[in-house]
Chains A and B, each alone.
Chain A
């Protein structure tokens, strides 16, 4: 995956060209948890992808041809096909790149992971193994992870103190190569939040030097 640490494209910027054969492009924003989901799946599956960051407070006009409401994430392939909604993108990637499946093959296990996603906030009773899908990391863990990574940054990591299995899960997730590769630096994220709440258009490029 390339391009995550690049400045956002905003109003007045020229549109990027066609997506090269054999790669994907993800329209994203470094601090968005929904984009984070799709980046986790791209990373975990080793998919060649170019990331284009979008300035969400000053969107390029052409971006509305990629998504009717200018939302991220959006995936674009070399056939100019566009897919949006983070969960739909993740499922599409799992279907198109079957070599390393993240969703299980068994229909009941697939259904169970989707039910877990629905019950995002009521997950505690359902976790009986190290990861949400079993003893190895799989799709549901990546789909939930972005919010838990942010718990620490938001300063509410204590809320998992009385849920030891969840705390253990978070520790196990931090060992995963894909999660590690994309871990947000705490001070960068705090810098972003600070500017974001001041409505600054520079928020999205916080921490980038180029």
Chain B
């Protein structure tokens, strides 16, 4: 989904002159998380990022981008969001990331950071406040080793999502249950609610977005045999950062329906 590299058709830019004569693009009229996509007609590149702010190129339903949004929120980092239409990308977006993928961070010095896990680590290192990765090198290494156990889940969920005939999915669902068992083992060994200890930390935010999908994809039963994982999910829903960025189940389902039909409107569902 986030790897789609379709290029937008050529079209003239849509510009609206502000009273003082400066040109603004469509993106500037809608600050914040629910800014509409940049249409090919509005494919004017955004200007430089103002001092004191960091910009994220994102997509409202992308789980990889959600990781970065969670960290931005958890650390209270002032940011602006530009959502990209991933089936109709503006040409200029490839100057931000040659692979054309979200999320991408851009700071006021024009530095660009790609790859969701790298963006999260960058934010934790560059900004003060609560550290999400532990300070102790061994504890940090342990979280990273545990994080490796999650690596098959995104691919499996995407495969289930792509299948139109739900009966085909039993094999994939079984594999998903196996992956969840690995995570259950971690929680059993650690004897803590969260993957990093007694409070939410980086590893919890890195894996959370896919668990947010389970309900919308009607896969909640895949966690039935992993009680500690279920408790972790319930605890995550209580986390202020997670609940502040919670996406409505109906919005996800609306997005999935349109996305499966290859609709260009999918990314703006609900706006």
- Which A residues have a C-beta under 8 Å from some C-beta of B? 81, 83-85, 88-89, 91-92, 95-96, 107-108, 110-112, 114-115, 118, 125
Contacts and interface: CB of A to CB of B under 8 A. Distances in A.
Contacts of B27: none
Contact of A81 (B125, B126, B138, B144): B138
B66 to A, nearest CB: 19
A111 B140 contact: no
A95 B125 CA distance: 13
A107 B128 CA distance: 12
B113 A108 contact: yes
Contacts of B109: 108
A108 B121 contact: no
Contact of B125 (A110, A112, A115, A118): A110
B122 A110 contact: yes
B104 to A, nearest CB: 11
B148 A85 contact: yes
Contacts of B144: 85, 88, 91
A111 B122 contact: yes
A108 B126 contact: yes
B137 A111 contact: no
Given A107-B125, A111-B122, A92 B138 contact: yes
Q: Looking at chain A's contact residues, is the secondary structure mostly helix, strand, loop, or mixed? A: helix
A92 B107 CA distance: 28
A107 B126 contact: yes
Contacts of B119: 111
Contacts of B111: 108
Interface centre among A85, A111, A114, by most B CB within 10 Å? A111
Contact of A95 (B113, B115, B122, B140): B140
B31 to A, nearest CB: 25
Interface in B173-206: none
Contacts of A112: 113
Nearest to B114: A115
Contacts of B107: 108
Contact of A96 (B113, B125, B137, B148): B137
Contacts of B145: 83-85, 88
Given A115-B118, A118-B115, A92 B125 contact: no
Contacts of A83: 138, 141, 145
B52 interface: no
A125 B122 contact: no
B44 to A, nearest CB: 25
Contact of A114 (B118, B126, B141): B118
Interface centre among B122, B140, B148, by most A CB within 10 Å? B122
